[in-house]
Amino acid sequence: MQQIVFTDSHIQEDCLEELDKVFSEILTYSKGKPVLVCVGDYYEKKNPTPREIDFGTKWVIKFKQAFKNFIMVTGNHPDIDGKISTVSYMSYLGIEVVPDLTLDGVHYAHYMVKESLCGFNESREGSQLATNYALSILGHQHTPQIITIGSSRIIHLGSCRYVDFGEAQDKSKFIAVINNGQFQEIALKSVRPMIDVSTVIGLDSLSPTTQVRVVYRNFNQFLAEADKLPIYEKKFWKFRVKHDYSNVVQPVAVNLVNTDKEIVRKWINKINDQDIRRELESEFKDVLK
């Protein structure tokens, strides 16, 4: 039986437009009525907003109508207590809601193992899965990864969209097609791309739907480009600035002796991005006293 698989959509209000396109793309794989499996974290929060519930429920019904069956693995984010989760109500809509799942010999669950890229605090070892299943599909880790243990594979499919900038190194986001135990990944075309850059040079050529984070490792370069940051904040759907001076051998000398407090304050107040403002206020805290 063919299965179409996605995971970690993390539905939240600021991404509904994007997820509408992603889910519409997933819907195109319903030909032949395969089973659709979500491997957890359908919603972002334990208590979704009414708008998020409305959106998530609308798509649950669409998926149920288009696919032979829609099975929802609860995941870890929705847990409210030991008896109910954020997605428990879906059982009243005819959706199979389960903590984990084995279907045609393929195991689906929402956790990491020691061998996972982000599994450094995990006690569960991949060998436990490999002993029982030739193929396991795991959610929870947003970056895709294939773990091979003997003849068994444990696959983190990864989130079906870019949830945070810790995923900026991921070249694509995927769904999977499972057919007779064979795994095929399919890159999603409708996901908003996410990148890390070290300068604003070249950003004009990018699509406004791109999610951009500028990572500054040189404070002087940040000062040289700071006045351009509000422009790009308005251009892109999501724009962030990160300061990483951990590898700087010599401290950057900045002469602030003649800097006027009022001028610096007015300059910072013109910047709408709260993260950038906090960084600037931190850097110029002695001047702003």
Q: Are residues 97 and 159 in the same domain?
A: yes
Q: Are residues 201 and 75 in the same domain?
A: no
From 187, 202, 222, the end of a domain falls on 187
* Interval 18-71: pLDDT, tens: 999 999 999 999 999 999 999 999 999 988 999 999 999 999 999 999 999 999
Note whether residue 153 is domain-resident. Answer: yes
From 156, 187, 218, the end of a domain falls on 187
pLDDT of residue 260: 54
Q: Are residues 182 and 249 in the same domain?
A: no
Report residue 221 as tokens: 């370069």
Question: What are the distances in angstroms from CA 90 to CA 25, 59, 189, 217, 229?
Answer: 22, 11, 28, 47, 43
Q: Are residues 143 and 23 in the same domain?
A: yes
Q: Are residues 16 and 107 in the same domain?
A: yes
Report residue 134 as tokens: 């030739």
From 143, 172, 187, the end of a domain falls on 187
pLDDT of residue 251: 46
Note whether residue 264 is domain-resident. Answer: yes
Q: Most distant CA pair in the chain: distance in Å?
A: 73
Which parts of the chain register pLDDT below 70? 77-82, 247-260, 263-264, 273, 287
Beta strands in 59-210 (DSSP E): 69-73, 96-98, 101-103, 106-109, 135-138, 145-149, 152-156, 174-179, 182-187, 194-197
Number of domains in the chain: 2
Q: What are phi and psi of 40, to 5 degrees?
A: 100, 165
Note whether residue 162 is domain-resident. Answer: yes
Q: Could you tell me the residue range of the domain that residue 232 belongs to?
A: 194-283
pLDDT of residue 258: 46
Element (H, E) at 36: strand 35-38
Question: What are the distances in angstroms from CA 44 to CA 7, 69, 106, 113?
Answer: 12, 23, 26, 22
Q: Are residues 68 and 179 in the same domain?
A: yes
Q: Are residues 176 and 198 in the same domain?
A: no
Q: Are residues 116 and 156 in the same domain?
A: yes
Note whether residue 43 is domain-resident. Answer: yes
